[in-house]
Structure 1
């Protein structure tokens, strides 16, 4: 370390200029903190390598960033922010909790006498034109949380270094404290991270490590958001998929059989009725972020009406320590202790918790590629089976990879797409891994035609699924389909990825009836005369907002418009939007402010969500995160799901209604 330096470390920084962020927009830099400047370098700390420099006198805030538990497209998982010149924010990502704490505390110490210290700050990211914490769309908007320059970012300090007790040594900096427990996504104690396997995983490459369900492993390295390097109890090391494991700690519910993530009220009731046992129960995520609900099945209150299902929110109370309860007289230090107690005592709820019920889909999730950094697939590893259909790029077939994994194989028709550009982008697209996105496994790019290999979805496209099941769907099941899609789109939005062709035909349905978004971003690589010309019949005019129709201006907010049309498709059970109008007529009508009519299966509240998506100005449309909350709230509400269906605003033969 340079004699004038207080801290030096290789950290990651996020691009401050590019509107669209991907894993490629996170760069490793050597950060150097001195008494006067914060600087970062590409390579060694030399003037010719310097990429940025901020005078400490210009800094008004240094604080951790709470990222809400979403997957960060960056290898380092511990973000902090440096706000300077009042409006500029530098986002930096540290490799560990201790590292981040030390940088933030050191910066706070050095700037404490600055004239321009912030009074308020934004605790979450500025992303996709909005502050994620308060949803303000002005980047210069005042902070939404009080900033405490002198406050600890922890609850307790680390033990003192031997020989440095007291003031931290002669002229030394304070020892790094732990980050707060509320900061979702952090590892906890800064030591070894122990995880529990949720599923079996058989390694396919020599550098993989196989997993056995319920066995414990130590994470050696966080390689990227989707793959960890881990060690088993026998000392063997290798790569494992991050979505196959869950951290072993007291507050982590994923390790318990009674917890079901990504289950809404309607799905919970279906699963409990199928179990049909007194005291059957599950714990699931509530519609309020960070809260949980216990759903319990009972026959004791139902009388002649059959079974009843009660939903209890797990409440929190802040005594000297956080406590949880269902009935206020019985409080516990953890949710697992609460559940254990109510297994033996009803104590204020309708029945004691007798039979844990988990979500129906217990199969292992898809991995981001078949192995770590394996995006090029050998075509000899593929077995071709039956034809599934023909898409805009070419023929799609069912196949198997190494005779083991079922996959969908798209053979790209010659001249259908810009292949070189797509192959480069495929490396980034593979890292977009989410339960509600169809997983891209890799490409076969060394021959012609090239193949795109993706997750196989047994029930085919959502459009056909809706049409084939007309008349059999409940309001709750239709709304659950919309929720699946919005969760996938929320993940794309958080990763600054634009779909550009969201519609029911580009969503697929799994064997367990989960709907996933497919073909995101693919239209960028279609040759103009094949798809993107607005004068051609293939252009998705009926799903496109005014700014796309007139200026080809795409954004996450143009995807929001398309999502509103997709909701309309779902609640009309697969009908064609504007079915009695040609494309040029639709362009004129949408430009004049007319919108699709209300489908007969949609309640007024659901139609209101569609209308919000169809606001004329993109900035007036909600984000996918906001839509996700609206739909979750609707699914949690009995009155929404059971309300009588009123007639549509117009006769079904009519096409539009005024906004």
Structure 2
């Protein structure tokens, strides 16, 4: 039985793969919305072929596009967007009312989707950047809160009852049957191919994988999900590749350049440059303000400094059109790569020429979401065990290798330690959570007992021990960097609607590059352990929990924010136990009465203020993790004051 027709209209779509915007990008299509799919057809009257179809369950956002003064080179001037998987479809309606009807109808159909976005981009992705926030990554998080239940173009109208809509449809002639499908399932054949550049080597591990060679170019055939793409190489070989190993080939995309380091803040940039100790060593990195960039430059003998110095120069943008970039106002460039190339040969007001890019030499490849596309189950015969790393709440953790080449951590789940069946189902979701500041889950061995959980190996172990073993050696900047790493990992969990429930320094790990990653997110739901279970049956570590958890068992991302404040306290005390003089029942009484942890000696007042914001009584008053990231970034970007 076919799904009921909701809307049908001739609209205009913008090609998704085009790199440049021109009238040739815009094509008239017959759009058909049913209760299960949004489909568009080649609109020729004599013969109609399906060009593309989107299952409504895959749609994350449907919203109007705010036109910031850009010229729309087609007759329909009312754009809206449909965001699904990792794609954004731009559609242009002929009138305000037509657009509102499509957007509101789509919102009504997707309101129960599990994948609805928390934020979206209100303006176009155009020529390698988001016009609203100037971010140059197509998958960058949205910059505006998404309201699923409203139309941002005007006050919401009451929905048309289905009966009335059906009645109105009966008054018109019945819609024709849906046209036949063609072999051409999308507009890709009539569009430019999307070409990406490999940032790292990827030796394919499964027959359906495609190996990548760093610097090679690959045509993207299908963005299967956020973590894996299907691609074709220059020899016409096809297969799956990890999405975080490639980047768009555009001049506006800085990730492809050796001098750009995305995951480097001010403190880490200075550490890298001092370690290199080379005249003209430099890094181009993200500034604390999203969508802007900073050049960090090392000079061995800077004027007025009496020795070596590191200077940080913000790349500025000119006002008006066309847009130009500059470090010194007299020298304007149409792109950042052109600016960097010029300053390689001319200091032009900088403390030195940009002679030596630092940061990506011998940079290890990031983790992938699983070893291959849709590979959840790992064959235990492919695992070799090397040495014990310790014992956790689930069982023994060992260092091992998968297929004798990938170093991994293997957790053997002891019998009776967790709800195994529930966890295995959840593991598929957890594997999709891939981020540089989250410990990657590679898969599980669930066919025999004991169950193994296979994860990324982190050389320096848990953050708590790392802090205690190196007590007295941390600078303010390095402590802030630890906090920023954790907040960025938690921001990704928050954006994906995932709760940690047990955030603490013991559940964060440190790798060989001293990057801190969040581990064991969501695992406490599956623990069978008296230490984590209250008399009411709820599981929580009291000293890291907010009042709404130990009083009412109410979890949210804001309860994770409270725990993050306690983790910050652990970091700035270099691994002390919170409320070390009190038992759990005493902590419940103290916190309920408004008592909070004291300010650590190493924490400036401004940093302790952030902790206190995380410990506000009302969950809604606490900051989000995206706000915490900005606060910590700003603290790192500013001149770091000495401890009070």
Short-chain TM bin = 0.7 to 0.9
Q: Does 1:404 find its partner at 2:405?
A: yes
Match of 1:100 in 2: 89
Match of 1:41 in 2: 36
Q: Is the 8 A contact 1:76 1:222 kept in 2?
A: no
Match of 2:521 in 1: 520
**Within 5 A, what are the aligned runs for 1:475-494?**
475-494=476-495
The runs of 5 or more residues in structure 1 that have no matched partner are 10-30, 46-73, 84-89, 117-124, 148-186, 647-659
**Counterpart Cα distance in 2 of 1:77 and 1:141:** 16
**Counterpart Cα distance in 1 of 2:362 and 2:611:** 29
SS at match of 1:93: strand
Q: Does 1:5 find its partner at 2:3?
A: no
Match of 2:221 in 1: 220
Distance change (3 Å), C-alpha of 1:276 and 1:96: closer
**Counterpart Cα distance in 1 of 2:308 and 2:514:** 24
**Counterpart Cα distance in 2 of 1:238 and 1:434:** 23
Q: Is the 8 A contact 1:200 1:210 kept in 2?
A: yes
Q: Displacement, 1:348?
A: 1.9
**Within 5 A, what are the aligned runs for 1:79-90?**
79-81=61-63
Measured against aligned partners, the alpha-carbon deviations of 1:235-268 in whole angstroms (never above 9, x if no partner) come to 0000001111111111010111110111111111
**Counterpart Cα distance in 1 of 2:298 and 2:630:** 26
Distance change (3 Å), C-alpha of 1:111 and 1:296: closer
Q: Displacement, 1:329?
A: 1.2
Q: Is the 8 A contact 2:258 2:360 kept in 1?
A: no
Distance change (3 Å), C-alpha of 1:4 and 1:397: closer
**Within 5 A, what are the aligned runs for 1:152-163?**
none
Q: Is the 8 A contact 2:220 2:229 kept in 1?
A: yes
Q: Is the 8 A contact 1:436 1:517 kept in 2?
A: yes
SS at match of 1:430: helix
**Counterpart Cα distance in 1 of 2:316 and 2:38:** 50
**Counterpart Cα distance in 1 of 2:330 and 2:311:** 19
Match of 2:318 in 1: 317
Q: Is the 8 A contact 1:408 1:455 kept in 2?
A: yes
Q: Displacement, 1:142?
A: 9.9
Q: Displacement, 1:44?
A: 11
Match of 1:645 in 2: 643
Match of 2:504 in 1: 503
Q: Is the 8 A contact 1:325 1:332 kept in 2?
A: yes
Q: Displacement, 1:603?
A: 0.5
**Within 5 A, what are the aligned runs for 1:9-88?**
39-41=34-36, 79-81=61-63
**Counterpart Cα distance in 1 of 2:275 and 2:59:** 40
Q: Is the 8 A contact 1:80 1:100 kept in 2?
A: no
Q: Displacement, 1:532?
A: 2.9
Q: Is the 8 A contact 1:128 1:493 kept in 2?
A: no
- Please provide the CA RMSD for this pair: 3.5
Measured against aligned partners, the alpha-carbon deviations of 1:528-553 in whole angstroms (never above 9, x if no partner) come to 64623268998410000000011111
**Counterpart Cα distance in 2 of 1:44 and 1:360:** 46
Distance change (3 Å), C-alpha of 1:234 and 1:135: closer
**Counterpart Cα distance in 2 of 1:487 and 1:113:** 37
Q: Is the 8 A contact 2:399 2:410 kept in 1?
A: yes
Match of 1:555 in 2: 556
Q: Displacement, 1:5?
A: 2.9
**Counterpart Cα distance in 1 of 2:6 and 2:59:** 29
Q: Does 1:110 find its partner at 2:105?
A: no
Q: Does 1:592 find its partner at 2:593?
A: yes
SS at match of 2:317: strand
Distance change (3 Å), C-alpha of 1:537 and 1:79: closer
**Counterpart Cα distance in 1 of 2:57 and 2:438:** 21
Q: Is the 8 A contact 1:259 1:284 kept in 2?
A: yes
TM-score by length of 2: 0.76
**Counterpart Cα distance in 1 of 2:267 and 2:257:** 21
**Counterpart Cα distance in 2 of 1:95 and 1:504:** 33
**Counterpart Cα distance in 1 of 2:547 and 2:248:** 46
Distance change (3 Å), C-alpha of 1:136 and 1:218: closer
Q: Does 1:331 find its partner at 2:332?
A: yes
Q: Is the 8 A contact 1:360 1:512 kept in 2?
A: no
**Counterpart Cα distance in 2 of 1:41 and 1:219:** 27
Q: Is the 8 A contact 1:523 1:532 kept in 2?
A: no
**Counterpart Cα distance in 1 of 2:263 and 2:248:** 18
Q: Is the 8 A contact 1:79 1:100 kept in 2?
A: no
Q: Displacement, 1:346?
A: 1.2
Match of 2:48 in 1: none
**Counterpart Cα distance in 1 of 2:501 and 2:82:** 30
Q: Displacement, 1:358?
A: 1.5
Q: Displacement, 1:302?
A: 5.2
Match of 2:386 in 1: 385
Q: Is the 8 A contact 1:33 1:39 kept in 2?
A: no
Distance change (3 Å), C-alpha of 1:111 and 1:357: closer
Q: Is the 8 A contact 1:128 1:496 kept in 2?
A: no
**Counterpart Cα distance in 2 of 1:222 and 1:311:** 37
Distance change (3 Å), C-alpha of 1:247 and 1:139: closer
Distance change (3 Å), C-alpha of 1:202 and 1:4: closer
Q: Is the 8 A contact 1:283 1:295 kept in 2?
A: yes
Q: Is the 8 A contact 1:77 1:96 kept in 2?
A: no
Distance change (3 Å), C-alpha of 1:112 and 1:544: closer
Measured against aligned partners, the alpha-carbon deviations of 1:41-100 in whole angstroms (never above 9, x if no partner) come to 26999xxxxxxxxxxxxxxxxxxxxxxxxxxxx9979953269xxxxxx99435797x82
**Within 5 A, what are the aligned runs for 1:428-467?**
428-467=429-468
**Counterpart Cα distance in 2 of 1:422 and 1:329:** 60
**Counterpart Cα distance in 2 of 1:76 and 1:318:** 39
Distance change (3 Å), C-alpha of 1:526 and 1:106: farther
**Counterpart Cα distance in 2 of 1:355 and 1:32:** 54
Q: Is the 8 A contact 1:418 1:526 kept in 2?
A: yes
Distance change (3 Å), C-alpha of 1:367 and 1:284: same
**Counterpart Cα distance in 1 of 2:31 and 2:235:** 41
**Counterpart Cα distance in 2 of 1:213 and 1:573:** 39
Q: Is the 8 A contact 2:387 2:398 kept in 1?
A: yes
The runs of 5 or more residues in structure 2 that have no matched partner are 13-28, 41-55, 66-79, 105-115, 123-140, 155-187
Q: Is the 8 A contact 1:499 1:521 kept in 2?
A: yes
Measured against aligned partners, the alpha-carbon deviations of 1:1-51 in whole angstroms (never above 9, x if no partner) come to 999832699xxxxxxxxxxxxxxxxxxxxx9956xxx54326999xxxxxx
Q: Does 1:472 find its partner at 2:473?
A: yes
Match of 1:417 in 2: 418
